[in-house]
């Protein structure tokens, strides 16, 4: 007998740039057994290449220019309205270069994921590859986490670790980290879509088990 298909999980993706992570999510959601359905892609920049990727894949797109709003709260309120029109179960930040207000984060509590190019809690914020090199780190990587009010500080879901090579530059490191991002983000989104990943009081839960502080760890 065939396994019943899980219910689809509608996802809205927010981005500001190239959208290579969006592309990885699109590609993986095309698998026959994927419950992930990317309902819409929204950008604060009308010229973001990620919007083109979405259009090419036949996904609805919207642009909402933050400069047209007076203040973060007004922009975020309009963004919530735009997102909620698609009634997503999950909202995915994929290179969305805006700090989100507390109200926004609270509105999507437990259903808002982000990917960050460092092994959090190391190197919150920008220039993560450069900072890892300057610190002489032997390992670097990327993290998927639930978003909370603390910037880049929410409970970790999964991390991928790569070795730093002797001759690495910020660019070469970024390239290898990106490969890992494209691996772990679809994985985490699928866990959520399958109902396996939730946010509990103590942190992220996978199959009902509290994950370690680092999240699920993948070493390369």
**Contacts with ligand GRF, residue ranges (CB under 6 A):** 15, 17-21, 50, 94-95, 115-117, 142, 181
Please, which residue, 61 or 77, has the CB nearer to ligand GRF?
61
* Structure tokens that stand for 3 in this block: 């396994």
Characterize the bridge pairing of strands 197-199 and 204-206.
antiparallel
CA–chain centroid gap for 106, Å, is 17
Q: Cβ of residue 49: shortest distance to ligand GRF, in angstroms?
A: 8
Beta bridge partners of 42: 14, 62
Shortest distance, CB of residue 126 to ligand GRF, whole angstroms? 10
**At closest approach, how far in Å is the CB of 85 from ligand GRF?**
24
Express the helix, strand and coil content of the chain in percent, nearest 5 each: 30, 25, 40
Residue 35 or residue 50: which is nearer to ligand GRF going by CB? Answer: 50
CA-to-CA distance for 83 and 96, rounded, in angstroms? 14
β-pair partners for 143: 116, 159
Tell me how far, at minimum, the Cβ of 209 lies from ligand GRF, in Å. Answer: 26
Exposed/middle/buried for residue 207 (C-beta within 10 Å: 0-12, 13-18, 19+) = exposed
Give the gyration radius of the chain's Cα atoms: 17
25: left (phi over 0), alpha (psi -120 to 50) or beta: alpha
State which H helix or E strand residue 122 sits in.
Answer: none
- The residues that are catalytic are 116
Closest to ligand GRF by CB, 63 vs 205, is 63
Select the residue whose beta carbon is closest to ligand GRF and give its number: 95
Q: How far is the CB of 72 from ligand GRF (least distance, A)?
A: 19
């Amino acid at each position: 007998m065939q396994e019943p298909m899980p219910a689809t999980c509608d996802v809205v993706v927010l981005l500001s740039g190239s959208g290579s992570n969006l592309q990885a999510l699109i590609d993986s959601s095309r698998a026959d057994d994927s419950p992930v359905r990317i309902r819409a892609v929204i950008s604060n920049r009308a010229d973001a290449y990620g919007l083109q990727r979405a259009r090419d894949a036949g996904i609805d797109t919207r642009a909402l220019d933050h400069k047209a709003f007076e203040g973060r709260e007004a922009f975020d309120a309009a963004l919530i309205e735009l997102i909620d029109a698609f009634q997503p179960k999950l909202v995915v930040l994929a290179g969305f270069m805006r700090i989100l207000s507390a109200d926004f984060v609270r509105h999507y509590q437990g259903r808002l994921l982000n990917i960050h190019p460092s092994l959090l809690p190391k190197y919150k914020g920008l220039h993560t590859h450069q900072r890892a090199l300057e610190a002489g780190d032997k390992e670097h990587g990327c993290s998927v986490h639930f978003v909370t009010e603390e910037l880049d500080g929410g409970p970790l879901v999964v991390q991928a670790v790569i070795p730093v090579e002797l001759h690495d530059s910020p660019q070469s490191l970024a390239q290898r980290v990106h490969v890992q991002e494209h691996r772990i983000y679809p994985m985490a989104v699928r866990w959520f879509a399958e109902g396996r990943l939730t946010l509990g009081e103590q942190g992220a839960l996978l199959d009902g088990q509290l994950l370690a502080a680092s999240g699920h760890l993948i070493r390369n």
